[in-house]
């Protein structure tokens, strides 16, 4: 929900533990709130010292996108310029969400040191109110749409176990099938009769062989017998005489 132009009520309750800027007398503090171009100043708390009380209320017109308030505390001087005590920033996120915030906000000096606290009470009447939705167009203003597609569920066929084969019925009695052509003369397709192969010579040959051989002669040959093989001229050693 937009906060543009909505009112925020802020009550400045007082201050606690302010830094003392006076050496002899008690200080006279006051508070300034700044929001955009709006500036609010409380009355001066005479002799308020470090814990002044104000109890002053103001209303701020909210601006979309600006969700913090600047706060500063001063000491009122009648003769010289006012003394700066401290400043800080007040966040509006809690009060805009819940409608109420009574927190204490710390302030710091120009050197960044702690200078005390400012007590504020904030009210926001429109917290939590959501914007009403825009009136929807009538159904007749839209083009007709096709009905939703709901395909019929598909199921797998039931499982059929394989049929058992009967060993006595295989192969079938009628084989070949009746659809095959029948041969007119089966003798035409019989292989030709070739002549038997010639008988080959028996191997190995018969043993012992029929041809006779001379028995081996002793060596050296005995005296008086011709040597075998016969001696030829030039053979060494010569045969004995």
For residues 95 and 42, give the distance between their C-alpha atoms in angstroms, rounded to a whole number. 22
Measured CA to CA, the distance from residue 225 to residue 237 in angstroms comes to 16
Query: What percent of the chain clears pLDDT 70, i.e. is strictly above it?
Result: 54
Q: What is the pLDDT of residues 123-181, one digit of tens each?
A: 999 887 644 444 554 544 555 566 666 666 666 667 777 766 555 555 555 555 555 56
Least Cα distance to 43 among 20, 76, 19 occurs for 76
Q: pLDDT tens digit string along 192-238?
A: 555 655 555 555 555 555 655 566 666 566 666 555 555 545 555 66
DSSP 94: H
Phi and psi at 56, nearest 5°, equal: -120, 145
Place of tokens 């006279």: 28
Q: Sketch out the chain's domains with CATH numbers.
A: 6-124 (2.60.40.150)
pLDDT of 71 over the 60 cut: yes
- Residue 179 gets the label, from left (phi > 0), alpha (psi -120 to 50) or beta, of alpha
What pLDDT is stored for residue 130 in this prediction? 47
What is the per-residue pLDDT for 135? 54
Supply the pTM of this predicted model.
Answer: 0.53
How many whole angstroms separate alpha carbon 39 and alpha carbon 58?
10
What is the model's pLDDT at position 46? 92
Any bridge partners for residue 116, and if so which? 107
């Amino acid at each position: 929900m937009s906060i543009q132009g909505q009112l925020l009520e802020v009550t400045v309750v007082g201050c606690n533990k302010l830094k003392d800027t006076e050496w002899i007398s008690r200080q006279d503090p006051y508070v300034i709130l700044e929001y955009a171009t709006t500036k609010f100043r409380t009355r001066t708390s005479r002799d308020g010292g470090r814990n002044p009380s104000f109890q002053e209320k103001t209303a701020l017109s909210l601006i979309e996108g600006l969700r913090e308030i600047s706060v500063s505390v001063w000491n009122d001087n009648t003769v010289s310029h006012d003394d700066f005590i401290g400043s800080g920033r007040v966040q509006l996120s809690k009060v805009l969400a819940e409608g109420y915030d009574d927190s204490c906000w710390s302030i710091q000096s120009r050197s960044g040191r702690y200078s005390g606290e400012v007590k504020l009470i904030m009210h926001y009447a429109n917290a939590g109110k959501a914007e009403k939705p825009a009136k929807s167009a009538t159904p007749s203003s839209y083009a007709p749409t096709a009905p939703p597609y709901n395909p019929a569920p598909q199921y797998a066929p039931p499982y059929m176990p394989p049929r058992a084969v009967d060993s006595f019925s295989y192969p079938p009695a009628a084989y070949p099938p009746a659809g095959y052509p029948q041969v007119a003369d089966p003798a035409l397709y019989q292989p030709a009769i070739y002549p038997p192969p010639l008988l080959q010579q028996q191997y190995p040959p018969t043993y012992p062989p029929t041809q006779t051989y001379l028995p081996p002669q002793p060596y050296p040959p005995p005296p008086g017998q011709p040597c075998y093989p016969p001696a030829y001229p030039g053979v060494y050693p010569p045969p004995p005489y």
